[in-house]
């Protein structure tokens, strides 16, 4: 089956199966957004994984003269900051933090959101009302403000920041999954499962859940991008983990030097931009790939 063939009523198929059935990943090249996104992500992951090897020391140690511009000193290709710390080392070590927070927060939001959404959509009625009112409670508050409050209460560690970002992001996933579950719940194969004598648990896990996840794939990568951005905002405001480096805190720290040494903010800012764009492109690319009927943008 060619991926460009419109499928029955938006029938979701396994993404991996679809990708693997594609000869030579032709479709992948067809979606330039996905390819560029994956390359960006691969670069960030590579930097994050090799940070310890390339820069074995503590990136917070003073390494050379303060305020060296990039390209002046061969030892510091990206220069040094106002305390003489190696910008390249700090940037590399920060990549891991950003990815960890982004993925951990997105995972939490996905788990809570998918569970709430599928239960609300399948059972409807009172379950739906309660779960959706709770999700509205989260959605009516500005999520960054809510995240800040949680981080202040829980203390700034990587785990608590991930938790705070994830727990404020789940309602959007829940709504997405709920809409799909409501659609799937009305299909004949769910009625067929009822007539076979399957209980609610089995029907939800075996039929409703797998058939409600198609839109989540796209949303998940955008969620990671949002989480990374939220983490950067928190760190910029000085609410990040004080024991770790992050791009957000580097931007925050470089802010006073913006007029004299703009590279101190521009470099980590650019890293955030590229990483977030990478995930966004993956999301858009997957959307093109999985919903071939969407008109070309």
Partner 1 sequence: MSALLEVEDLRVRYATRRGSLMAVDGVSFSLHAGRTLGLVGESGCGKSSLGKAIMRIVDPHSGAIRLDGVDIGRLSGRHLRPHRRRFQMVFQDPAASLDPRQRIRRALEEPLAVHGRGDRSERRDRVREVMAQVGLHPEMADRLPHEFSGGQRQRIAIARALMLEPSLIVCDEPVSALDVSLQAQILNLLADLQASRGIAYLFISHDLSVVQHLADRIAVMYLGQIVEIADRAALWRSPAHPYTQALIAAVPRMAPERRGLDRTRLLPGDLPAPQDPPPGCRFAGRCPFATRLCREQAPRLAEIAPGHAVACHLHTAPDAAPGGAAAPSLPHFLQKDTVQ
Chain positions 228 to 287 lying near partner 1, rule: CB under 8 A, are none
Between CA 20 and CA 3 the distance in angstroms is: 11
In terms of Cα–Cα distance, which of 107, 106, 121, 283 is closest to 212? 121
Q: Is 198 in the site for partner 1 (CB under 8 A)?
A: yes
Based on the shown chain and the rule CB under 8 A, indicate whether residue 16 belongs to the binding site for partner 1: no
Does 201 bind partner 1 (CB under 8 A)? Our answer is no
Instruction: Tell me: does residue 188 bind partner 1 (CB under 8 A).
Output: yes
- Of 95-103, 137-145, 205-213, 240-248, the window that binds partner 1 (rule: CB under 8 A) is 205-213
Q: Give the C-alpha separation, 173 to 122, whole Å.
A: 15
Residues between 83 and 122 that touch partner 1 (CB under 8 A): none
Which residue lies nearer to partner 1 by CB, 46 or 187?
A: 187
**Site for partner 1 contains 12 (CB under 8 A):** yes
Residue with tokens 């991926």: 3
Closer CB to partner 1, 7 or 139, in the complex? 7
Closer CB to partner 1, residue 72 or residue 194?
194
Query: Quick one: 53 or 196, whose CB is closer to partner 1?
Result: 196
185 lies in the binding site for partner 1 (CB under 8 A) = no
Shorter beta-carbon distance to partner 1: residue 167 or 177? 177
Query: Which one among 20, 130, 191, 294 touches partner 1, defined by CB under 8 A?
Result: 191
Residue 297 makes contact with partner 1 by CB under 8 A: no
Candidates 79-87, 98-106, 121-129, 198-206: pick the segment binding partner 1 (CB under 8 A): 198-206
- State which of residues 39, 194, 205, 274 lies at the interface with partner 1 (CB under 8 A): 194
Closest distance between partner 1 and the C-beta of residue 78, in Å?
Answer: 48
**For the chain, what is the radius of gyration of the CA atoms?**
22
CB of 229 to partner 1, least distance (A): 33
Q: Give the DSSP per-residue string, the chain.
A: --TTSPPGGG----HHHHHHHSGGGHHHHH-HHHHHHHHHHHHHHHHHHHHHHHS-S-TTSB-SSTTPPTTTSTT-TT-B-TT-BBHHHHHHHHHHHHHHHHHHHHHHHHHHHHHHHHHHHHH-HHHHHHHHHHHHHHHHS-HHHHHHHHHHHH-S-HHHHHHHHHHHHHHHHHHHHHHHHHHHHTSHHHHHHHHTT--HHHHIIIIIHHHH-HHHHHHHHHHHHHHHHHHHHHHHTT-S-TTS--HHHHHHHHGGGTTT-THHHHHHHHHHHHHHHHHHHHHHHHHHHH-TTSPP-
d(C-alpha 297, C-alpha 290), whole Å? 15
Provide, rounded to whole angstroms, the least separation between the CB of residue 12 and partner 1: 7
Q: Which is nearer to partner 1, 11 or 296 (CB)?
A: 11
Q: Which is nearer to partner 1, 195 or 260 (CB)?
A: 195
In the bound state with partner 1, the residue whose beta carbon lies nearer, of 17 and 294, is: 17
Could you give the CA distance from residue 146 to residue 149 in angstroms, rounded to a whole number? Answer: 5
Residues contributing to the site for partner 1 (CB under 8 A): 1, 7-8, 11-14, 187-189, 191-199, 202, 206-207, 210-211
């Amino acid at each position: 089956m060619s991926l460009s063939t419109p499928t029955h009523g938006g029938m979701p198929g396994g993404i991996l199966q679809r990708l693997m059935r594609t000869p030579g990943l032709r479709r992948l090249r067809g979606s330039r957004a996905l390819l560029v996104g994956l390359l960006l992500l691969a670069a960030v992951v590579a930097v994050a994984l090799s940070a310890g090897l390339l820069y074995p020391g503590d990136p917070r140690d003073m390494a050379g003269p303060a305020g060296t511009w990039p390209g002046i000193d061969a030892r510091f290709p990206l220069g040094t900051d106002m305390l003489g710390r190696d910008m390249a080392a700090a940037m590399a070590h920060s990549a891991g933090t950003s990815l960890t927070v982004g993925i951990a927060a997105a995972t939490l939001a996905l788990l809570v959101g998918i569970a709430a959404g599928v239960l609300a959509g399948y059972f409807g009625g009172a379950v739906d009302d309660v779960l959706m009112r709770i999700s509205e409670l989260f959605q009516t508050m500005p999520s960054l403000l809510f995240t800040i409050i949680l981080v202040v209460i829980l203390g700034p560690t990587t785990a608590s920041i991930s938790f705070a970002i994830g727990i404020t992001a789940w309602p959007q996933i829940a709504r997405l999954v709920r809409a799909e579950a409501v659609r799937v719940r009305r299909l004949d194969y769910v009625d067929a499962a009822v007539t076979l004598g399957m209980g609610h648990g089995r029907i939800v896990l075996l039929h409703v859940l797998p058939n409600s996840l198609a839109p989540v794939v796209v949303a998940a990568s955008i969620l990671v991008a949002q989480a990374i951005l939220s983490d950067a905002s928190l760190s910029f405001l000085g609410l990040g983990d004080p024991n770790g480096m992050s791009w957000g805190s580097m931007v925050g720290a470089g802010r006073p030097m913006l007029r004299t040494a703009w590279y101190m903010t521009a470099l980590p800012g650019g890293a955030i931009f590229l990483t977030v764009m990478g995930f966004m492109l993956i999301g858009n690319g997957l959307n093109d790939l999985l919903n071939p009927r969407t008109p070309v943008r």
